[in-house]
Amino acid sequence: MTWRLKAGDLVEVTREASVQFVNPMLFRVIRVLDWVTFDGWMWLDGYQLDKKGDAVARRSIFVQPAGLRVQRSIPAPTPRRSTRRAVAPAQKPAAPTR
């Protein structure tokens, strides 16, 4: 896998990633752990998701990145224009005339 995982990525974890995942699961990456591992393996910290996309468990998993299927990646933030309008400064009330 040439994809570089980052926080927010949604991946499908299958048996190709590790034999412990007989039943595939969706996993939202919190971070890629920099723990020392065997060549071709990595630790991921994140949330296991249910079918609706809700987090059901926080887990650290040991996987082969080549077996992960990236489902969706969080896009890079794009600058937004402010939706707030500039407000004119309050004016002093006019002096009463006599």
DSSP assignments along 15-49, one per residue: TTT-TT-SS-EEEEEEEEE-----TT-EEEEEEEE
Question: Is residue 84 in some structural domain?
Answer: no
Question: Is residue 97 in some structural domain?
Answer: no
Question: Is residue 57 in some structural domain?
Answer: yes
Mean pLDDT, rounded, of the chain: 84
What is the number of H-type helices and E-type strands within the chain? 0, 5
pTM of the model: 0.69
Q: Which domain holds residue 25?
A: 10-71
Question: Is residue 33 in some structural domain?
Answer: yes
Question: Is residue 77 in some structural domain?
Answer: no
The count of structural domains within the chain is 1
Question: Is residue 29 in some structural domain?
Answer: yes
- Beta bridge mates, 47: 28, 58
Q: What is the per-residue pLDDT across 32-74, written as a single tens digit (0 to 9) for each?
A: 999 888 899 999 999 999 988 889 999 999 999 999 999 876 5
User: Residue 16 has which token pair?
Assistant: 């190709």
